[in-house]
Amino acid sequence: MSVLRIAAALIAFMAVSVYVSEHEWSVHGLAAPVGPAAADPVQVVAGEVPPIDAIYFIEEPGIYGLGREIPGSRYAIISNILVRLDSKTNKVLSILRTNIAVQN
C-alpha cells in the first residue's frame, strides 16, 4: 500500500472519530442529557453529599427499570450516574448504574 493511501485512510479514520465523538449521543441512539445531568460533571462518591443543583430526582423509577423506592431513600441521577440517596440528607447511599440519560 502506498504512503498516499495510508495517509488518506488515516485522515478518513480521524475525521470519522472526531464526528462520532462530537455526536456521541445521537450515534448511539441515546437522548442527549438535559437539566442538571447535562451540566459540568460532579464527582459521585458513595457516602458524600453532592450539590443540590447537580441532582435530578427521579419521580418515576419504572422508566429506568427500577422498582419502588426503598423507605428512607430516593433515586436520582447525578452527572449521568444513577444513584440511591438518603431522602433526608441527600447523601449517596449507593451507585447503581453509569451512563444514564435523563428521561423526560
Cα–Cα distance for residue pair 77/30, rounded to 1 Å: 16
Let me know: does 75 contact 5? Beta carbons within 8 Å: no
**In the chain, % of residues over pLDDT 90:** 52
User: What pLDDT score was predicted for residue 8?
Assistant: 59
User: What pLDDT score was predicted for residue 20?
Assistant: 43
Q: What is the mean pLDDT of the chain?
A: 78
Q: Which helix (H) or strand (E) holds 3?
A: helix 3-22
Superfamily of domain 33-104: inner membrane protein cigr (3.10.450.160)
Cα–Cα distance for residue pair 104/97, rounded to 1 Å: 18
pLDDT confidence of 42, banded at 50, 70, 90?
confident
CA 37, 42, 43, 44 dihedral sign is: negative
Distances in whole angstroms, Cα of residue 86 to Cα of each of 72, 74, 99? 6, 7, 21
pLDDT confidence of 41, banded at 50, 70, 90?
confident
The domain locations on the chain are 1-30, 33-104
Q: Given the C-alpha cell 447535562, which residue does it identify?
A: 38
pTM: 0.61
Cα–Cα distance for residue pair 88/68, rounded to 1 Å: 17
User: What pLDDT score was predicted for residue 13?
Assistant: 54
On the question of pLDDT at 56 being above 90, the answer is: yes
